Amino acid sequence: MLNRINLSEIRSFVLIARLGSFTKAAEVLCVSRSHISKQLSALEATLNITLVQRTTRTLRLTDAGKQLYQQCDMALNDIDQAITSTLDDKTSMAGPICINSVGGFIGEELVMPMVSEFLQLYPDISISVDFSSHRVDLIEDEFDIAFRMGELPDAGFVARHLLNIQTLTLASPSYLDSQPQFTHPLQLKDSDCLIGSVTQWHFIDKNGIEKDLVVPVAGRLLCKNGRGLIRSALDGNGIIRVPRMYCEAEILAGTLKPVFESWRVPEVPFNLIYHKDKYQPNRLRTLISFMQTRFAAKVAGGLR
């Protein structure tokens, strides 16, 4: 029986009981009086109970009608409040946002200042930030958005491209002076490389003469932290491959220098990703737009 109960019939019955009139209930629901009457009759037939005794002039709830009205009136009020709360959550600039991001320089020096500025603009929003480099499932891990480097083959989410990251192969002048001149990436097989998470280094011939190369590298230091790799390279321990933005000051100062003149590293796309959800909360849509605008300004200012 419960599977046959129509919620619209329940709502019509509650309005009839509350307002004491078929006509007034019909006006609230923007339907005809006859439609309201048919709904009540259908509900009584389904329940096999008389809920309202009516004449041409008056109506009165039966005992069963009074009991059903009292309980359904409270239930419908709870439903109305739940819907109102859900709509408020969608449109208001308040509530939580969960972010996952790569760490290091990008997370600390780019993402976090933007998050901090966003919090200043919207004091009723709270943000949780998790720094990690592992591949995340936005739904399973309960993140609203994520910032990721590299290609994104998964089509299960929306990606917004923020910038292309220029990566360089660098070493200190003291290390380069102690080695034969580097002219070809294959020389790295016999060199001291300071390695992060990537042990296969990809190179492109700037002149387009040779094919792209992928060179396996090894060394005495494995460190999945850009700052740590830069520190070791500055001490003359070997060759690193890091994003240019990590060490712009060292490059300008000449304490780190490019290893190759004729070979470059492919640029790495940096993206903001989020769920495919056309009913996103307003706070999330606003944050996504804010981040895109701020990163576009960074790129226009020379970030690479």
Domain CATH for 33: 1.10.10.10
Residues 146 and 175 in one domain: no
Find the angle CA(162)-CA(101)-CA(244) to the nearest 5 degrees: 55
- The whole-number pLDDT of residue 154 equals 63
**Beta strand pairing status for 263-264 and 125-131?**
unpaired
Residues 79 and 146 in one domain: no
Q: Is residue 157 part of a domain?
A: no
Q: What is the mean pLDDT of residues 216-239?
A: 94
Give the separation between CA 84 and CA 89, rounded to whole angstroms: 9
- The whole-number pLDDT of residue 232 equals 97
Residues 124 and 175 in one domain: no
Indicate the angle between helix axes 112-121 and 282-300, nearest 10 degrees. 130
Q: Is residue 102 part of a domain?
A: yes
How many angstroms separate the Cα of 273 from the Cα of each of 103, 159, 165? 16, 4, 17
Q: How many domains does the chain have?
A: 3
Residues 82 and 141 in one domain: no
Give the separation between CA 109 and CA 147, rounded to whole angstroms: 13
Residues 171 and 260 in one domain: yes
Q: What is the mean pLDDT of residues 219-247?
A: 94
For 132, the token pair is: 């990690």
Residues 110 and 259 in one domain: no
**Beta strand pairing status for 213-216 and 200-205?**
antiparallel
Residues 136 and 203 in one domain: no
Q: Is residue 247 part of a domain?
A: yes
Average pLDDT over the chain, rounded to an integer = 88
Q: Is residue 162 part of a domain?
A: no
Q: What is the mean pLDDT of residues 273-277?
A: 83
Give the helix ranges, DSSP H, for the chain: 7-19, 22-29, 33-47, 63-91, 104-105, 112-121, 173-177, 226-234, 248-253, 282-300
Give the CATH number for residue 210: 3.40.190.290
Q: Is residue 158 part of a domain?
A: no
Residues 141 and 279 in one domain: yes
Residues 147 and 284 in one domain: yes
Position 109 pLDDT exceeds 70:
yes
Max CA pair span of the chain: 107
Give the separation between CA 110 and CA 162, rounded to whole angstroms: 12
pLDDT band at residue 59, thresholds of 50, 70 and 90? confident
Q: Is residue 160 part of a domain?
A: no
Residues 229 and 247 in one domain: yes
Residues 10 and 60 in one domain: yes
| C-alpha neighbours within 13 Å on the C-beta side of residue 22 | 19
Tell which of 53, 71, 91 closes a domain.
91
Q: Is residue 231 part of a domain?
A: yes
Query: Is residue 169 classed as helix, strand or coil in its secondary structure?
Result: strand
Q: What pTM, to 2 d.p., does this model score?
A: 0.70
Position 278 pLDDT exceeds 70:
no
Q: Is residue 161 part of a domain?
A: no
Closest CA relative to residue 105, chosen from 133, 126, 128? 133
Residues 30 and 82 in one domain: yes
Q: What is the pLDDT of residues 157-198, one digit of tens each?
A: 888 999 999 999 999 999 999 999 999 999 999 899 999 988
Closest CA relative to residue 8, chosen from 30, 64, 19, 55? 30
DSSP code of 266?
Answer: P
Give the CATH number for residue 288: 3.40.190.10
Domain that holds residue 42: 2-91
